[in-house]
């Protein structure tokens, strides 16, 4: 049977990918962020999963704003890297895990989550930057297959944090009921506090971020109880991406340990963080 082996929460800021693509990670601006990643990257390189289930949002690159599904899963055998206006990132295409995708769609529908499916999908920075955080030098191919899971965090009304946490729990059950022996890592992407436009553009709320970074491990229900307005007020209009961390957390069990975390302000306009949790075997 499949098992969930670890969970990674990470910001997905596009310029973190651009810093890697343009060999700027040792520059004074970027070095502290990448130094913070190092212990997690070393651990993950020694604990490679077969498949990464990546919870992310498209930023109006592949999905038109006229039709934004609340929850969707990619079921393709391969996903191209999206061209977001600067050409495609020089990273490998993403290989899918269609059988696991189809299984997750079926199981989640049976648990009454109404999941849209993408049979074709270009994946934007929301997915490729977390892959680069996980694996900075993939060569010709990423070291795992990927199931993209999309959450609407960009158009009102976004799903509640509680619904995202419940989706994560159902996702964990669905992964564990997949009959093949695959090791699965779950990524929750986005956050932490940031706001890209409007009167509060540039907002950072380190107090809220630090609280969230602590509570995601042992008090996720407390974070799931916050409203979308709470998230936007405290973390900014784009800080609501943090609800995707709750999908990841829901897919893990109660028995986890924190392998590593790091928090750095700023990466572009964002308070960037990484938190890595290992599933402790009974
Ligand atoms: C930035 C952060 C994001 O999460 C995103 O999707 C786009 C841009 C930023 O800080 O620049
Ligand atoms: Fe984003």
Q: Domain boundaries in the chain?
A: 3-199+241-255
CA of 85 to the centre of ligand 2 (A): 16
CA of 13 to the centre of ligand 2 (A): 6
Question: In the structure, which protein residues have their CB atom closer than 6 angstroms to any atom of ligand 1?
Answer: 12-15, 59, 190, 194, 196, 238, 268-270
> Among residues 12, 103, 125, 264, which one is catalytic?
125
Q: Atom 4 (ligand 1): residue with closest C-alpha? A: 13
Atom of ligand 1 minimally distant from the CA of 266 = 10
3-199+241-255 has which CATH code? 3.40.830.10
Q: Atom 1 (ligand 1): residue with closest C-alpha? A: 13
CA of 58 to the centre of ligand 1 (A): 12
Atom of ligand 1 minimally distant from the CA of 59 = 6
Task: Answer yes or no: 47 catalytic.
Answer: no
Atom of ligand 1 minimally distant from the CA of 238 = 4
* 3-state secondary structure string across the chain: CCEEEEEEEECCCHHHHHHHHCCCCCCCCCHHHHHHHHHHHHHHHCCCCCEEEEEECCCCCCCCCCCCCCEEEECCCEEEECECCCCECCCCCEEECHHHHHHHHHHHHHCCCCCEEECCCEECHHHHHHHHHHCCCCCCCCCCEEEEEEECCCCCCCCCHHHHHHHHHHHHHHHHCCCCCCEEEEEEECCCCCCCCCCCCCCCCHHHHHHHHHHHHHCHHHHHCCCHHHHHHHHCCCHHHHHHHHHHHHHCCCCEEEEEEEEEEEECCEEEEEEEEEECCC
User: Which pLDDT tens digits describe the chain residue by residue (282 residues)?
Assistant: 999 999 999 999 999 999 999 999 999 999 999 999 999 999 999 999 999 999 999 999 999 999 999 999 999 999 999 999 999 999 999 999 999 999 999 999 999 999 999 999 999 999 999 999 999 999 999 999 999 999 999 999 999 999 999 999 999 999 999 999 999 999 999 999 999 999 999 999 999 999 999 999 999 999 999 999 999 999 999 999 999 999 999 999 999 999 999 999 999 999 999 999 999 976
Interface predicted TM-score of the whole assembly (ipTM), two decimals: 0.98
């Amino acid at each position: 049977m499949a098992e969930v082996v670890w969970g990674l929460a990470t910001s997905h800021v596009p310029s973190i990918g651009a810093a890697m693509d343009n060999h700027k990670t040792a520059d004074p601006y970027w070095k502290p962020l990448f130094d913070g990643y190092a212990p997690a990257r070393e651990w993950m390189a020694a604990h490679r999963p077969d498949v990464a289930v990546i919870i992310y949002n498209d930023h109006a690159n592949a999905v038109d704003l006229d039709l934004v599904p609340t929850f969707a899963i990619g079921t393709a055998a391969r996903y191209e890297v999206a061209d977001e206006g600067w050409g495609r990132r020089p990273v490998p295409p993403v290989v899918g895990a269609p059988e696991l995708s189809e299984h997750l769609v079926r199981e989640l529908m049976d648990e009454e989550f109404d999941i849209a499916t993408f049979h074709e999908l270009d994946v934007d920075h929301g997915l490729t930057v977390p892959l680069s955080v996980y694996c900075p030098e993939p060569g010709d191919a990423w070291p795992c297959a990927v199931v993209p899971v999309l959450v609407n965090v960009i158009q009102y009304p976004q799903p509640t944090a509680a619904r995202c946490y419940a989706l994560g729990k159902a996702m964990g059950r669905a992964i564990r009921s997949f009959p093949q022996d695959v090791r699965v890592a779950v990524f929750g992407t986005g956050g932490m506090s940031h706001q890209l436009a409007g009167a509060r553009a540039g907002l950072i709320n380190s107090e809220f971020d630090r609280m969230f970074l602590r509570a995601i491990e042992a008090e996720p229900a407390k974070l799931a109880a916050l409203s979308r307005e709470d998230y936007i007020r405290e973390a900014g209009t784009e800080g609501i991406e943090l609800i995707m961390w709750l999908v990841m957390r829901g897919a893990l069990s109660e028995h986890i340990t924190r392998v590593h975390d790091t928090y750095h302000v700023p990466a572009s306009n964002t308070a960037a963080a990484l938190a890595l949790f290992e599933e402790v075997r009974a």
